[in-house]
Amino acid sequence: MNKTVIVNVKHFFKYFIYKKISYFIKKYYAHDYFNFCKKDDKVYIMECKPYSKIKFWKVIKIIND
């Protein structure tokens, strides 16, 4: 998977009756043209034309914390 990064997005939601906060994780395959991303980097992604069967996103910016 050259030039590909897997981005995990965590969505939080709350059960109003039970007052419990839960989450689920969605996985996105994004195109990284120069292979700059490393593990545990935070990135902005944008929807774009399909690069392959599963890649519909591309990395716009890497956020440095």
State both tokens at 15: 């059960």
Structural fold of domain 4-63: OB fold (Dihydrolipoamide Acetyltransferase, E2P) (2.40.50)
State both tokens at 1: 């998977």
What's the distance, CA 12 to chain centroid?
A: 15
65 residues of the chain, pLDDT tens digit each: 899 999 999 999 999 999 999 999 999 999 999 999 999 999 999 999 999 999 999 999 999 86
Alpha-carbon distance of 9 to 12, in angstroms, equals: 10
Give the torsion through C-alpha atoms of 47, 49, 52, 53, to 10 deg: 70
Largest distance between two CA atoms of the chain: 47
Alpha-carbon distance of 65 to 46, in angstroms, equals: 20
pLDDT at 65: 61
pLDDT at 21: 96
